[in-house]
């Protein structure tokens, strides 16, 4: 049997040794590439998790504020119903923006 590139005869045993060596080299490279890709993916996940963790407090505070506003509006509506006012008047009884801005100063 002759070699594919140099034309010298190669025994079947030698050819199998070469194939096995090449296969092991490819497996080693493949494992290294898989490891590199897994590390890269893990780093991306860590970065995204960190980014979401830094945003979470602001999202939480916004949701808390929204929940408080909804609770206040619900209280105004329930109070208006107890007093016998139509629902539209209950909404008009909430504090004006100037009142709220003065109370924060």
What is the per-residue DSSP string for 54-86?
A: HHHHHHHHHHHHHHHHHHHHHHHHHHHHHHT--
* pLDDT, position 29: 97
Task: With a cut of 50, say whether residue 95 has pLDDT above it.
Answer: yes
What integer pLDDT is reported at residue 42 of this predicted model? 93
CB 15 within 8 A of CB 1: yes
> What is the pTM (predicted TM-score) of this model?
0.43
The whole domain housing 88 covers 12-104
Residue 5 lies in a domain: no
Q: Is 4 part of a structural domain of the chain?
A: no
pLDDT at 1: 47
> Residue 9 forms beta bridges with which residues?
2
DSSP-based helix, strand, coil % in the chain, nearest 5: 80, 0, 15
Q: Is the pLDDT at 69 greater than 60, yes or no?
A: yes
Domain count, the chain: 1
Q: What is the mean pLDDT of the chain?
A: 78
């Amino acid at each position: 049997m002759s070699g594919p590139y140099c034309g010298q005869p190669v025994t079947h045993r030698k050819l199998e040794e070469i194939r096995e060596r090449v296969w092991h080299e490819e497996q080693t490279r493949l494992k290294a590439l898989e490891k590199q890709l897994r590390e890269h993916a893990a780093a991306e996940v860590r970065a995204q998790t960190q980014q979401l963790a830094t945003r979470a407090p602001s999202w939480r505070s916004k949701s808390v504020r929204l929940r408080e506003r909804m609770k206040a509006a619900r209280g105004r509506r329930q109070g208006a119903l107890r007093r016998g006012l139509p629902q539209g008047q209950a909404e008009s009884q909430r504090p004006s923006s100037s009142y709220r801005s003065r109370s924060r100063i």
